[in-house]
Amino acid sequence: MARWEPDARGRMTRAALDLYAEQGFEQTTTAQIAERAGVTERTYFRHFADKREVLFDGSHELEALVARTIADAADDVAPLDAAGAAFVRVAGELEDRRDFAARRAAVVAATPRLRERELLKLAALRDDAAAALRDRGVPDPAASMVAEVGVAAFKVGFEAWIASGQARPVADEVRDALTVLRAQAEV
């Protein structure tokens, strides 16, 4: 990022979320986002490909975090424990951005095109987790299924966190989802 644009990405992200919440995603233009963030539209497009991507900044970092956490787990850690720890850690990243996460979740839930993009983000997280598990020697379909369950716990835990007004840490909600699934798998 250029030195003369301190936190331009962050300003654009917050401006976009504000506008989507105020007037709706479809009604908002990139020109409006740029104006509110105090940048030119050209600058906007240097950072984000379109109107959706501005709400998915940092997705690649989360994917890298999932892959790295799984890769770094000790050799004797079971696949579901490694994947579970990775998604608990990803969830933990959201705890520092509670308000943003809750407002973003509301906008995404209300906007079909953002919901689709969110599902694509989760599918990418699943693919990265499955690849990291395969690198640990976990064969398919186990690697894919364990990665799916990790993402599922993240989704379900995140939804519970939002629905409950963020009463407990989101990492705890994700852990609970995994624990509950293990119990169901044993029935």
Interface residues toward its own copies, by CB under 8 A: 78-81, 112, 115-117, 119-120, 123, 140-142, 144-146, 148-149, 152-153, 155-157, 159-160, 173, 176-177, 180-187
| Shortest reach from residue 104's CB to its own copies, in Å | 18
Give yes or no for a cis peptide into 141 (omega within 30° of 0): yes
Q: Which of 71, 88, 90, 68 is nearest to 79 (CA)?
A: 71
| Shortest reach from residue 38's CB to its own copies, in Å | 32
Residue 21 or residue 156: which is nearer to its own copies going by CB? 156
b (16+ CB within 10 A) / e for 52-90: bebbbeebeebbebbbebbeebeeeeebbebbbbbbbbb
Say if CB 11 and CB 37 are below 8 A apart: yes
Instruction: Report how far residue 139's alpha carbon sits from residue 27's, in angstroms, rounded to the nearest whole number.
Output: 46
Q: Which of 61, 58, 32, 36 is nearest to 47 (CA)?
A: 58
Residue 39 or residue 157: which is nearer to its own copies going by CB? 157
| Shortest reach from residue 181's CB to its own copies, in Å | 4
| Shortest reach from residue 129's CB to its own copies, in Å | 12
Residue 176 DSSP SS3: helix
Residue 67 or residue 147: which is nearer to its own copies going by CB? 147
| Shortest reach from residue 6's CB to its own copies, in Å | 33
